[in-house]
């Protein structure tokens, strides 16, 4: 069955897109890697074999770039792009997986393929993993769903991270529901372009809230793992690693960050560093050597002064 992995990026997140691709290749992924972008192509595309206009290949994987400039922040476009991949860009797709560009995978790819056969694959969030069905945010989400005449199908007590999801074509209706809720939220005056500073007391500050709202109104089955699925448990999982913090590992000076914050390199930092050199080289040889020395020094010091 044809499988597509997709992500979205702009600016320096191109480094994360490359590290994600390296991790997929290193774990046996076969299929299409679809990269939607705003701005310019990554510099590392010169290391790929060009097959057509904005289409490349490497180690048997098709890499397809899709230029985008939607009238909203790219993160709010995840569901719309997923639908477009199923229906327009890659209609042969039977299994679809989304990863944020600050994720690298750790499990062999076969694990993901099998996982999505059980239902929509999801990971619990690190900050709000437990969210009771009567949580006040859910009341606001019900109001947004009411604009579309949606009844609550699933009384949820969990909250999932939207940095990853996977599904079969049979569960495609979930993406349509999520997309419709996004535009209903916009029509109610919600900020979907990121022009306002986030206030976490609000029921919606990002695409993740609307994804969790969609789960309440969805009939599609779920298959979920805990926060260890994204290495949020502090001692490492086996599925993927998600660099959720503001300073991303590709721009982080690990030693300086340790001295300023007391934070030793995270699991996500270390997993990113495992995927910077092969098959695609994300840095020049000198930059790579300096970055590897930097994280080793930070890790050593972190055992003494870090937390």
pLDDT in tens, 144-177: 999 999 999 999 999 999 999 999 999 999 999 9
Is 90 exceeded by the pLDDT of residue 184? yes
Nearest-angstrom CA–CA distance, 88 and 91: 6
Is 90 exceeded by the pLDDT of residue 305? no
| H-state helical runs in the chain | 14-26, 78-84, 109-116, 136-147, 173-187, 207-217, 254-261, 267-273, 285-305
pLDDT tens digits for range 215-244: 999 999 999 999 999 999 887 799 999 999
Is 80 exceeded by the pLDDT of residue 2? yes
Is 90 exceeded by the pLDDT of residue 214? yes
Q: Which is it for the CA torsion 31, 16, 70, 204, positive or negative?
A: positive
Nearest-angstrom CA–CA distance, 219 and 210: 16
- Structure confidence at residue 235 (pLDDT): 79
Mean pLDDT of 55-68: 98
- Structure confidence at residue 192 (pLDDT): 94
- Structure confidence at residue 196 (pLDDT): 62
**Token pair 């080289």 is at which residue?**
281
- pLDDT tier for residue 197 given thresholds of 50, 70 and 90: low
Instruction: Provide, rounded to the nearest whole percent, the portion of the chain with pLDDT above 70.
Output: 98
- Structure confidence at residue 299 (pLDDT): 95
Nearest-angstrom CA–CA distance, 15 and 282: 7
pLDDT tens digits for range 84-106: 999 999 999 999 999 999 999 99
- Structure confidence at residue 234 (pLDDT): 80
**Local structure of 130: helix, strand or coil:** strand
pLDDT tens digits for range 102-142: 999 999 999 999 999 999 999 999 999 999 999 999 999 99
Nearest-angstrom CA–CA distance, 15 and 251: 9
Instruction: Provide, rounded to the nearest whole percent, the portion of the chain with pLDDT above 90.
Output: 93
Average pLDDT, the chain: 96
Q: Is residue 204 a contact partner of residue 178, using CB atoms and an 8 Å limit? A: no
- Structure confidence at residue 261 (pLDDT): 93
- Structure confidence at residue 14 (pLDDT): 98
- Structure confidence at residue 1 (pLDDT): 79
Nearest-angstrom CA–CA distance, 90 and 279: 25
- Structure confidence at residue 195 (pLDDT): 57
């Amino acid at each position: 069955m044809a499988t597509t992995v997709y992500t979205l990026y702009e600016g320096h997140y191109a480094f994360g897109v490359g590290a994600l691709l390296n991790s997929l290749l290193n774990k046996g992924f076969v299929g299409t890697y679809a990269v939607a972008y705003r701005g310019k192509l990554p510099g590392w595309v010169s290391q790929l074999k060009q097959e057509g206009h904005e289409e490349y290949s490497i180690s048997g994987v098709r890499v397809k770039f899709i230029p985008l400039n939607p009238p909203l922040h790219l993160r709010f476009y995840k569901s719309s792009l997923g639908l477009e991949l199923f229906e327009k860009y890659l209609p042969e797709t039977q299994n679809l997986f989304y990863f944020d560009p600050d994720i690298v995978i750790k499990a062999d790819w076969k694990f993901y393929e099998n996982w999505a056969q059980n239902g929509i694959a999801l990971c619990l969030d690190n900050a709000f993993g437990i969210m009771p069905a009567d949580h006040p945010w859910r009341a606001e989400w019900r109001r947004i769903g009411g604009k579309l005449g949606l009844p609550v199908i699933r009384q949820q007590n969990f909250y999932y991270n939207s940095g990853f999801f996977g599904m079969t074509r049979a569960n495609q209706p979930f993406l349509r529901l999520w997309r419709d809720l996004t535009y209903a939220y916009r029509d109610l005056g919600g900020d979907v372009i990121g022009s306002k500073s986030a206030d976490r007391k609000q029921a919606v500050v990002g695409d993740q809230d609307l994804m969790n709202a969609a789960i309440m109104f969805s009939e599609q089955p779920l298959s979920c793992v805990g926060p260890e699925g994204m290495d949020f448990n502090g001692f490492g999982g086996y599925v993927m690693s998600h660099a959720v913090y503001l300073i991303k590992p590709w721009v982080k000076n690990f030693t300086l960050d340790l001295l300023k914050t007391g934070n030793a390199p995270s699991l996500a930092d270390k997993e990113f560093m495992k995927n910077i050199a092969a098959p695609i080289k994300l840095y020049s040889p000198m930059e790579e050597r300096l970055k590897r020395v930097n994280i080793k020094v930070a890790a050593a010091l972190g055992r003494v002064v870090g937390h």
